[in-house]
Amino acid sequence: MSKLVAPHGGKGLVCALLHGNDLEAEQEKAAGMKKIQVSARAKGDLIMMGIGGFSPLTGFMGKEDWKGVCENLQMADGTFWPVPITLDITKEEANDINKGDEIALEYEGEVMATMTVNEKFEMTEADKKWECEKVFKGEGEESADDVFWKIAEEDHPGVIMVMNQKEVNVAGPVKVLSQGEYPAEYKGVYLTPAETRAMFEERGWSKVSALQLRNPMHRSHEFLAKISIEVCDGCLIHSLIGNLKPGDIPADTRVEAIKILIDNYFVKDNVINAGYPLDMRYAGPREGLLHATFRQNYGVNNMLIGRDHAGVGDFYGLFEAQDIFDKLPTTGDAGKDLQCQPMKIDWTFYCHKCDGMSSLRTCNHGKEDRVILSGTKLRKALSEGAEIVDHFGRDEVLTHLKKYYAGLTEKVEVKMQGAASGDSM
């Protein structure tokens, strides 16, 4: 019997991906269906439903689940879920679709899935704004009531994404036909929940941590992973390999940077370098909960949550993504409630006087003695060709990243927010 945490939802891994004869039959059937073009975000959501990463979801959410998730962090049946998983279509498309219809969901010429339509519901501008306020509004200065909507529609990529959605959401179970480019382009790194669970079992792991990454690993990331390895059996370094906002470093560059770091500075038997196919939502605390939810499906029971987890700008409090774990609704049903627990880590930095990596819990020296580390700070320095402060990152990794930036013909301005600068420490 497995010692790993059970998948979320109490139903095991719920996988919508078809194989073999079933896949061929559904592909043939899909050729005659009405085709709906989906976004990159929906593509990633479909793949996660396909491989069991979004267990227990079987498809896109209907109105009651959407409302419950936004308002209470629970679907209509009480199952915990932190971020809406919905599919938007145009009014014209909705008028041509009836309840019970089967449609094909296509992304850039490839049919990703088929779907049986159970429901469709209008999303007015007011509905979209309500979703944004529930999901993306935090406790940071840019989320204050008098400034949120003055800033968010221009500077918050998650809010922009929701407000640009089409007029109708359509819901129902899916059959997933493709994992896109990920198995080929990220062979050995793109892993399904079944594969990571098998790897953990093979290594004898039962207590597993996960480090969420959308940036290359700097010294603070390395420190977090190593802290978790000291108290867990091993760490899954789990990078987002879907889409990011402009100015972020692409997945292949980040994955290689992590490999370089692991090869030179980790005991390989205690760490796994992996990737997952979602787009970043930049939902701060809510996204931290989403990261923990699907990591539970991957077999992880300890989610590393540091400063400004999944944040953007100054919309979120520095440790709001940690605090939210203390406010979760519970039903008393282990299947429905979140089982993956946060591993909360304070500000981390290199301290010259300590002569090593430290945190606010272990270092009593002043800010002038500390090298404040953040992915945003690193990207800003690299994009501007500025000198990288000593002890910010490992030399081998920085050499790799500098080579990437040297090859760019167009560079995006990287804005420095308070959470990344260290001003608010």
Residues serving a catalytic function are 214-215
For 278, 312, 331, 343, the CA distances from 244, given in Å and listed in that order, are 9, 12, 34, 25
Structure-block tokens of residue 152: 């968010």
- The burial of 269, by beta-carbon neighbours within 10 Å (0-12 exposed, 13-18 middle, 19 or more buried), is given as exposed
- As beta bridge partners, residue 171 has 119
For 181, 219, 249, the CA distances from 419, given in Å and listed in that order, are 34, 17, 19
Residues 6+ apart with CB under 8 A from 72: 329
The 3-state secondary structure of 328-371 reads CCCCCCCCCCCCCEEEECCCEEEECCCCEEEECCCCCCCHHHEE
User: % helix / strand / coil in the chain, to the nearest 5?
Assistant: 40, 20, 45
- The burial of 416, by beta-carbon neighbours within 10 Å (0-12 exposed, 13-18 middle, 19 or more buried), is given as middle
Determine the Cα–Cα distance for residues 334 and 375; give it in Å rounded to an integer. Answer: 35
Query: Sign of dihedral through CA atoms 33, 35, 40, 42?
Result: negative
Query: Sign of dihedral through CA atoms 300, 319, 41, 256?
Result: negative
234: how many CB neighbours lie within 10 A of its CB? 21
Amino acid at 400: H
